[in-house]
Structure 1
Amino acid sequence: MYPRILVPVDGSDASVRALREAAALGRALGSALVLLHVVDTYQLLLAKATQAGFDEAREALLARGQALLQACGQQAGQSGVACDTVLREVMSSRVSAAIVDEATRQDCSLIVMGTHGRNGRTRLLLGSDAERVVHAALVPVLLVQQDRADGPAVG
């Protein structure tokens, strides 16, 4: 049904929970996972005054992303699910666009991603990559909320 599942990971509680959910689905369905970490260097470009400062911070973000993918890949492997990892850097597009694009590139038939469950004013101010993915994706999207005492775990 879903031979390849894209799982964007960012190290947040919500993405860790989404990875667990995707691994369980992968085991049950015999699916492979594609773990994606997107480094948004545009925000970094705005914050760094010098090229040297930008380059150093960019390299640190890429290294952190690679380490995160390695740890998540090990977690998926320990769950008994095959996975590939992809590190993407974006400078001129939104993270959500990179997620949707990577789902197409990797021929994924499902996206499982964490959401922070923001609503109201917070969502209006910060935007929601998860919401943008839901609207733009050509494949089904399963949103997994971070652990919350006052609501369901999967939304």
Structure 2
Amino acid sequence: MKKILVPIDFSQHSEYALEVAAQIAKQHEAGILILHMIGVADSVLDNSEIAEEQEAKYYLKMAKSKLKEFTKKDYLKEIPVEVIIQNYKDFKEVNQVAQEQNCDLVVMGSHGTSGLSDLFVGSNTEKVVRTSNVPVLVIKQRHPDFKINTMVFASDLEKESIPAFKKASAFARLLSASIEIVYINHAGANFMGFDDVKKRMDSFKKELEEPVEVKFYNYHTVEGGLFNYCFRNDIDLLVIPTHGRKGLAHFVVGSLAENVSNHAKMPVMTIKL
């Protein structure tokens, strides 16, 4: 791991993410790229009127001043830190910056869901999770001693999730953590008996071509099953592959990765298929 991208909005939760990113960076001699996105309207930036030009400069100056203070944290000492300030239209620019700057990981703070309005508007974290081609680690609370010993990769046991698992497995090796795969056998039309689940698990293990525990857990919802499994087994990090669904289908069908990263209190990593 060489570079970690941390989007910052000066909130407490973004500081939680920066502190975790700093711990990972120190462990692996990586650098940190701090990204702050200001929402200045294009009309303000493009207009040559003196008042509007001064307004744009004011926001930029204020952001630079805040970032200067933000980067004085003790936990950032001895870590190479770069800063980018960018005006945003929507949060898929985070993915663009991550790829242009060759970042290996995005670490982002989130306060989680804020009620029914969040279903329609979506949080910034959701937007990043949905569009990022780089793995996203979502942090909900402070971790002064961030240590991952156990990881769970949530899988539907389909072949298309194998590349995402290989990325998760590489991250587990990087952190010297154990990793296992869990399939949530949820109530409804897709519920399977033990023999059918076992056959599917064995078939998936053959495709993996590496030794790993594949387990299943019965629960009435996938999201609830993942939470319960992780809680009962003292799991430190939940990894979920995401399709990055966009548009109307996202609101009708929903996205497990976005739902879980919104509601889970534990750290969640999403990896795009």
**What's the offset of the Cα at 1:128?**
1.4
Residue from 149, 152, 155 that aligns with 2:265 = 152
Structure (1 or 2) with the greater helix fraction: 1
Bigger radius of gyration among the two: 2
Change (3 A) 1:4 1:10: same
Q: In the alignment, what sits opposite 1:17?
A: 16
What TM-score do the two structures reach when normalised by structure 1? 0.79
**What's the offset of the Cα at 1:126?**
3.8
Q: Which structure exhibits the higher relative contact order, with contacts defined as CA atoms closer than 8 Å and separated by 6 or more residues?
A: 1
Contact preservation (8 Å) 2:6, 2:35: yes
Contact preservation (8 Å) 1:44, 1:58: no
**What's the offset of the Cα at 1:138?**
1.1
- Structure 1 spans left out of the alignment, 5+ residues: 46-50
In structure 1, C-alpha distance between the alignment counterparts of 2:133 and 2:74, rounded to whole Å: 25
| 1:42 pairs with 2:47 | no
Deviations 1:4-39 (A, max 9, x none): 000111100111111111111111111100011111
- Structure 2 spans left out of the alignment, 5+ residues: 143-263, 269-273
Q: In the alignment, what sits opposite 1:26?
A: 25
Contact preservation (8 Å) 1:15, 1:115: yes
Residue from 31, 56, 59 that aligns with 2:57 = 59
**What's the offset of the Cα at 1:78?**
4.2
What does 1:71-150 align with in structure 2 at a 5 Å threshold? 71-75=69-73, 78-90=76-88, 93-94=89-90, 96-146=91-141
**Count of equivalent residues:** 144
Contact preservation (8 Å) 1:35, 1:86: yes
In structure 2, C-alpha distance between the alignment counterparts of 1:17 and 1:77, rounded to whole Å: 11
Contact preservation (8 Å) 1:33, 1:82: yes
Identity %: 25
Contact preservation (8 Å) 2:19, 2:75: no
